[in-house]
Amino acid sequence: MGWIRSFVPWSLVVVAALAGGPRPALAGDNVVVVHFEGQAPIAEVKGAANVVVPACRGVEWQRFDAELARFVPVPGPGCGPMVPAIPVPAAGLKVPADVRLREGDNVRAVALIGVGCRPDQPLQLAKCARLEAVESAPVIVPPAAPEPG
């Protein structure tokens, strides 16, 4: 059953590979934007009606690897049992980074977005009309704010 726990991250890899890799969001499409609250990165997912993200690892963080000259996934926590996918509200869904990123890292967020999915189902079972891997623009993790005092 261990493969079920890692299904969502591997789904992101499979979808990205089949689609020719994650694609940058275009105006009017589903969008992923990264911003910072202090030094804490937040991915904000915005989408059209009836859009969901997996409850676990729906947003994958990637760090640029200069030696490989490409972005590579940052390892994150494992997933527990399957739970229903999270609907993306019209105002967007904020997803804090669940991985360790360092000052100066060149990072991006890649969201696995399900479109036209059955409600209240894990993404793997939701029979979505389509799945999209959508990437944010790359950003540099800012330095930590100085301690007050």
Taking only the tens place, the pLDDT of each residue in 80-96 is 889 999 999 989 999 99
In a domain, 147, yes or no: no
Q: From CA 125, how far away is CA 121, in angstroms rounded?
A: 6
pLDDT, position 17:
38
Q: Picking from 10-14, 101-105, 109-113, which range would have the lowest pLDDT averaged per residue?
A: 10-14
In a domain, 22, yes or no: yes
pLDDT, position 78:
86
Which of 26 and 68 is assigned the larger pLDDT? 68
Q: Based on the structure, what is the number of domains in the chain?
A: 1
Confidence of residue 149 (pLDDT cuts 50, 70, 90): low
In a domain, 90, yes or no: yes
In a domain, 63, yes or no: yes
In a domain, 116, yes or no: yes
Range of the domain at 106: 2-140
In a domain, 149, yes or no: no
What is the arithmetic mean of pLDDT over 116-136? 93
What is the arithmetic mean of pLDDT over 41-45? 92
In a domain, 146, yes or no: no
